[in-house]
Structure 1
Amino acid sequence: MAEVFLRTLPFFGLIGLGWLAAALRFFPDEAAAWLTRFVFYFALSAMLFRFSSGLDLGELFELRFALAYLVGSTAVWAIGMAVGRLRGLSVPEAAMEAHCCMIGNTGFLGVPLLIALMGPVAVGPVLMVLTIDMLVFSTLITLIIHAARHGGLRLAALVPVLRGIAANPMVLSMVAGLGWSVAGWPMPAPLDEFLALLGAAATPGALFAIGAGLAARRLVRVAAAGWLSGAKLVLHPLAVGLAAWGVGVDAGPASVMVAAAALPVAGNTYMLARHFGVAPQRVSATILISTALSIVTIPVIMNLVSPS
């Protein structure tokens, strides 16, 4: 346990450094926004392309893995939605809370953290989790809010959703990398070195940007944010772990899936909440609380699920 904690500590140290720099106004909000943009469009995309170009489709997509993650995550989503409705929330608010319960910071935190700590075996499973989150659950929350506000679901609502997915640099880089792999092209040494150099900036840049973003968040609706953080950090990994056991996912990929489910709430959930005007302060507080608590919960869960 102590060893796992010490291995994760430098990653959270970078998050803390970003928070401190932003809190002291040494790193202003606009600087954090541009750093996030660099990581999102360049460094992380280079990392994802390089990783996925070394995979085949069988390594990325494994039916039992995808089924387990979908079943476990959907169960947590349904619990979050039900709890929200029982508290008297509107459908959009309850859906946004449900989204917080199971959408983790896989892109900015999970990819660098889990691959660094769990090794190359984590690449395929982490990218599978990221893909399902983007294609399934991010689409689901958008369609639910649209349907609730317009009295039903219209086909036209799918167009901006699909356009956003198609334009997402993480999706594009993974698709391009898999295409490269399927084509069987060798990776030229200069290109590989370029991608490795650019991708190496993703980990420190992403973690620093996460911390800088946390400095602008405020603790409001603490009880609700606490419940959502607990659901994300404890209930979600428990649910996907049980689902993985139930459908017989191999121990290695299952441990990566559970560790990915233990990640704190993703920062882009706040962007969705602000875009739709649905509980942005509550979502912001949940991101702050879940990220702070994950310093302890991630090492505990990784220690529990690590294959002997």
Structure 2
Amino acid sequence: MLEIFLQTLPFFCVIGLGFGAGRTGFFTEEATAWLTKFVFYFALSAMLFRFSANLSFGEVFNIRFIAAYLWATAFVYGVVMMAAFLRGASIEEAAFESQCGVIGNVGFLGVPMLTLLMGEAAIGSVMLVLSIDLIVFGSLVVILVTGSRDGAVGLGAFRTVGLGLLKNPMIVSIVLGLGWSALKLPIPGVMNDFLSLLGGAATPGALFAIGASLATKKAERPLIAGWLSFSKLVLHPGAVAFSALILFPVEPYGAAVMIAAAALPVAGNVYILAEHYRIAPQRVSASILISTALAVVTVSLVIGWVGQLY
């Protein structure tokens, strides 16, 4: 277990470096925003395109995998939402708390870290988890919030969801990469070197950007944020493990990657949406901060355990 901890520690050290740079003011909020944009639109997109262009649709699409992850995530989503309702929260607040409980930082942290720690064979499973998070649950929160505000779910909500997916570079790069693979087009050497060089900036850039963005966050309402962090770091991977190993048995390696992905801390894009809709941004911010700090230990424990499954 110590060996796994030492393997994951450098990733969190880069996050800590970014946090220190942001906290001291050496890296401003504006600088963090531009770095995040570079990673999101260029470096991470190049990495995802290169990985997916070397995969077939059959290697990525797995109905049993999808069923296992969907069931577990929907279950935890429902548990967190019910807990919010019992506390008297509105539908909008409950929706964002549920997002915190199930949406992990798969794009910025999971893609680079899990492919390095568990091997490049993990990328298909990681991309499938990322796609489900973005397409299903990323859409669900927009539909719930829009429906709550308008009193009904109209075409406007689905238009917003559709445009959001079309503008998301992670989804676009995965689709384009799989399309390239389906057409059986070779990747020219120059193009592959370009994608490798640009994609290589994704790992340090994403981790540093996570840390720098955390520097502006505060742990307000720590009890609720602590519960949401527990849901994300413990309940979610626990439910995914039960679903992938017992309910919908997934082959061991795929199940291990799915569980590891579920153990990641709350994603930063949940805060971006919360800030956009002006719904509990401080609560979401605190959940990201607390879950990321605790993930230094919990992610190592989970990866160490799932490593015994395959």
Provide the residue aligned with 2:227 in structure 1.
227
Aligned to 2:171: 171
**Alignment partner, residue 66 of structure 2:** 66
Alpha-carbon separation, structure 1, partners of 2:282 and 2:167: 27
For 1:68-107, what aligned pairs fall within 5 Å after superposition? 68-107=68-107
Instruction: Indicate if the aligned counterparts of 1:121 and 1:252 stay in contact, CA closer than 8 A.
Output: no
**Alpha-carbon shift at residue 50 of structure 1 (Å):** 0.2
Asked whether the equivalents of residues 71 and 243 of structure 1 are also in contact (C-alpha less than 8 Å), the reply is: yes
AA in 2 matched with 1:43 = A
- Structure 2 equivalent of residue 297 of structure 1: 298
Gaps of 5+ in 2: none
Report what 1:241 is aligned to. Answer: 241
Q: Deviations over 1:34-84 (max 9, x none)?
A: 000000000000000000000001111100000000000000000000000
User: Is the counterpart of residue 282 in structure 1 residue 283 in structure 2?
Assistant: yes
Aligned counterparts of 1:71 and 1:31: Cα–Cα separation in 2: 39
Instruction: Compute the displacement of 1:150 (Å).
Output: 1.1
AA aligned to 2:290 is I
Match for residue 56 of structure 1? Answer: 56
Please report the TM-score for the alignment, with normalisation by the length of structure 1. Answer: 0.99
Quick check: 1:121–1:253 contact (8 Å CA) kept in 2?
Answer: no
Residues 1-308 of structure 1: matches in 2 within 5 Å?
A: 1-245=1-245, 246-306=247-307, 307-308=309-310
- Aligned-pair CA distance for 1:155: 1.6
Q: What is the deviation of 1:156?
A: 2.1
Two-structure CA RMSD over aligned residues (Å): 0.6
Runs of 4+ with deviation above 6 angstroms = none
TM-score of the superposition, structure 2-length normalised?
0.98
* Matched letter for residue 68 of structure 1: A
Deviation at 1:263, TM superposition (A): 0.3
Query: How far apart, CA to CA, are the structure 1 residues paired with 2:94 and 2:174?
Result: 31
1:184 counterpart SS class: coil
Alignment identity in percent?
A: 54
